[in-house]
Structure 1
Amino acid sequence: MGGKINWNKIWAISMKDMKEAFSSLSISGPMIGIPIFFAVLLPLFTFYIARYAGSTIIPQIAGISVPQSFGNLYFIEFFSINILGPIFMTMPIITASVLAADSFAGEKERKTAEALLATPTTNTELLIGKIFASLIPAVLLTIAVFIIYASITDYLSLSSFGIAIFPNIAWYMMLLNSPFLALTTIGLVVLISTKVRGIKEAQQISTLLILPLLVIPFASIFNLAKLNLQFFIILLIVLLIASSAVLYLSEKFFDRERFILS
């Protein structure tokens, strides 16, 4: 990234894209609806299952052996980390893919990409501005969902069992991984932005990153992986490498003229 970067221009680009995204109901609707479902309804669903089947449901899954003292609280801890945790980690991917697809592919779909040629910014400034426009809401929304989910879960666990499930090191590690999941997604959208024709196509390709995360709950249930500190540290290292690689390639190959004419 050669030359001096003008951060005022970058922030102006980010603010413009964020305002455009959140003014669209088709974009802001899913970004609000999905987190509300996760943060509010899933804790209630978890405690409902725990109350009526928590002590018996896990031993029946694929014949897994669990301690005889397996109880409702144990089930809630297991379910919140091993099942809901990976689902939580899909949110920065979903949010980032929606915003990045609108920011990049959406420009071509709305026939506004030509205006990028007249923007008095460098390719690097334009790219960073659009990345921030996707990254900032994705990270803030993920943090907000975590706070709401943890608060509701702790309230229910304290009122039912007298013990708070959070703070929890596994969930903090998942939260730490979230920005890098978002960055990897955004970088992928940038790389494919010259190859796709519209928002939906860009979203469909970028959300393929969700598939590996959906394997994690099954790997945990069938004792193929343990979602412990070591697992999340390894995942963090992998995401650091992946996000750095795709962002480097994005900066190297992004060209506004080629993007517009593609």
Structure 2
Amino acid sequence: MKFINVYQITWKDIKEVFSSILIFGPMFGIPLAFAVILPVLSIYIAVHEAPSIAAAIKIPNISSALPAFKSISFMDYFSINILGPITMTMPIITSAVIAADSFAGEKERKTAESLLATPMTKTELLLGKILASFLPAVIMAVIAFGLYGSIVNYLSFQQFGLFILPTLPWLLMLAAVPFLALAPISIVVLISSHVKGVKEAQQLTSLLVLPLLVLPFASLLGLASLSVSFMLYMILALAILDVILFYGSIAVFKRESLIS
């Protein structure tokens, strides 16, 4: 495999995305907006609603805590277990827009034939398309996590006199982003190669990314606690799934599907 071929495909797609503000604007704007709004929301809830919410969803070590510590404990729990997963999944969901356009867009723009004429293997072609969506997702996640963590710490220090982040589970969430992003993006890119247009790919993509919202809702309902052990098991499971999906995509992908 020639990595220069992979680089050329990846760079071409990324340049096309950043050539239109209508594409990259929402893709970057939505996660960054969430990274700003969610910390403010968490501080407000921690100060005004922490005891009642903690009792309602049975958050451990908070309902029974002394009143002086309830807001701080809730802020810590809410920032990591509820808003952290949302911050983690938003860049992946928005980057699926690039993945949906990867091959389907080539078909609509009538450039699929010229793409097939290049001396690239199907592995190089598929990997280049996957990286074109994967890299922006990871970069957006790092920026969103950095912005989110900075605002949370600033507000928590102003309100409580201490910094909430970073914690080990929070850092593991950031480490999980590449593994969490690769699986759906690989599937979406493969779907994009088999549909006729971008709209079809986007409709199927919207169904595929819905499971990403399970994690924040599971935390909110108390069904999952994002402990260190949970995050490590999740990263391991995602890594295995990514390898299976990537090699499965290579096996299923056919260059001829781009001109059918």
TM-score normalised per structure 1: 0.89
Structure 2 counterparts to residues 35-184 of structure 1, below 5 A: 35-61=31-57, 66-69=63-66, 71-184=70-183
The residue aligned with 1:192 is: 191
CA RMSD of aligned residues (A): 2.2
In 1, are the aligned partners of 2:100 and 2:188 still within 8 Å (CA)?
yes
Aligned-partner SS, 1:226: coil
Distance 1:186 1:213, change over 3 A: closer
The equivalent residue for 1:223 is 222
Q: Rate the CA distance shift 1:224–1:111 in 2: closer, same or farther, 3 A.
A: same
- In 2, the alpha carbon distance for the partners of 1:117 and 1:213 equals 33
Q: What fraction of aligned residue pairs are identical, expressed as a percent?
A: 51
Report the secondary structure of 2:49's partner residue.
Answer: helix
Q: Could you report, residue by residue, the CA deviation over 1:83-137 in whole angstroms, capped at 9, with x for unpaired residues?
A: 1122123124313311111222211222221221222322222222212211111
Give the C-alpha shift of residue 222 in structure 1: 3.8
The Cα shift of 1:19 comes to 0.5
Q: Which residue of 1 aligns with 2:249?
A: 250
1:9 Cα deviation from its structure 2 partner? 2.2
Contact 1:100/1:189, CA 8 A, preserved across alignment: yes
Q: Answer yes or no: is the 8 Å Cα contact 1:98–1:203 preserved in 2.
A: yes
Unaligned runs of 5+ in 1: none
Tell me which of 13, 18, 27 is aligned to 2:9.
Answer: 13
> Residues 131 and 149 from structure 1, CA distance in 2 versus in 1: closer, same or farther, beyond 3 angstroms?
same
Structure 1 residues 157 and 31: CA distance shift in structure 2, 3 A: same
C-alpha spacing 1:142/1:221, structure 2 compared with 1 (3 Å)? closer
Write the letter of the residue equivalent to 2:12.
K
User: 1:46 is matched by which residue type in structure 2?
Assistant: S
SS in 1 for 2:194: coil
Is the Cα contact below 8 Å between 1:93 and 1:182 reproduced in 2?
A: yes
How far has the Cα of 1:62 moved from its partner? 7.2
Q: Is the 8 A contact 2:194 2:257 kept in 1?
A: no
Kindly state the Cα deviation for residue 61 of structure 1 after the two structures are TM-superposed. 4.1
**Which range moves more in the overlay, 216-225 or 55-64?**
55-64
Q: Which moved more, 1:229-238 or 1:65-74?
A: 65-74
Distance change (3 Å), C-alpha of 1:200 and 1:163: farther
